[in-house]
Amino acid sequence: MAISEAKKGLGFVSPNPAVGCVFLDKDNHLRSVGYHRSYGGPHAEVEAHGKVQNLESLVGGKAIVTLEPCSHFGKTPPCADLLSRLSLSEVHYGLRDPNPLVSGRGLRKLEESGVKVFSAPKDLESSLKELVEIFYLNQTEKRCFVGLKVASSLDGQMSLPSGDSQWITGPLAREKSHFLRAYFGAVLTTASSVMRDNSSLNSRVEPFHDKEIPVFLIDRKGRSADFLQDSKLLEVRDAKSLYVFTSQDHLKSYTCLPTSQVIDLKSDSDRDQLREIFKFVTHLGFSSLMIEAGPQFTSLILRENLYDRLDLFVGPKVLGAHLKTSWTKGLEFSNMDQVLSFESAEPKTLGGDIWISARNPSAFFDSKL
């Protein structure tokens, strides 16, 4: 129940983690539930506490929280202090907070106040980790989390050679991709993709209709400078939420954007440019970035191994083998030790489509961004 509550905050609490809380009385009767609704707003424990009609009912009761209660003053007071004052008998937590300001300290505060502390059952560990995987990586590696989204046919094609791709996947898969887009802090794409599809790259599902999703656009040759003026990208977001990475020769071409939104790509190699982009995104304060692009850029990300999670949507169609439209183009392996392998891959059906969300266990970033 606490995990389900926490999921309601996804897409709204970044760069904080999504957290859920449940209060039970001493007889294990449900007293309240709560979740962290928005960044800077009350934490899950505070919201659940505010819903308890009779605080005396919590004496000898229990709190179940998906993440270790915070022990420091941030935008809100420490939740560990709040729980310590409630005369609870037990607090069950999902995962330790990786934030060095918190890790273990919240649990110690509770124990020192006489509360028994228990960790979550092992069979919930995977669900708990997935819930806060972006926050965990931000804290431990000090960089943004990079997701890679792909929609393809059964034979690995992202479109026909003409560029036509509407629709490889069905409405349920497209709806799920809109949720994923909203969960991430921003989207990274290329000029080729934007000019081909003229996509809005927003989230057209509830409750995210009004969420403005920042977009980072790679356009080394300045091809999209005139196109962007009347593009759907700028129909659904303020110009300050669109960033363009280009070469020095084209920095002044994007008259529809503030100059601070047009960034000079100084590096020459693809890999160095990607690292430069991820570093810039991280320093702006974005906790996660979802890549949505065509087969050439997608395969480059795969080849350079610069992503943390792959979300693959597969439609029940065969488009025919065309190298330039395959999302694995340019990947060649001579033995099984070299192939790309994934963890926590759990295929799910979405209507007639398959969605595979899998973690890349060997994401290769040379050093902390």
Structure-token pair, residue 105: 């300290």
62 three-class SS: strand
Catalytic residue chosen out of the listed positions 45, 47, 68, 292: 45
Task: Give the bridge partners for 357, in sequence order.
Answer: 311, 346
Give Cα 280 to chain centroid, integer Å. Answer: 17
Residue 141 a catalytic site member? no
Number of H helices, E strands in the chain: 10, 14
Alpha-carbon distance of 302 to 150, in angstroms, equals 11
Alpha-carbon Rg for the chain in angstroms:
23
Q: Which helix (H) or strand (E) holds 93?
A: strand 90-95
Look at phi and psi of residue 104 and say left if phi exceeds 0, alpha if psi is from -120 to 50, else beta: left
Q: Which residue has tokens 């420091």? A: 72
Torsion of CA 74, 75, 76, 80, to 10 degrees: -30
* Residues designated catalytic: 45
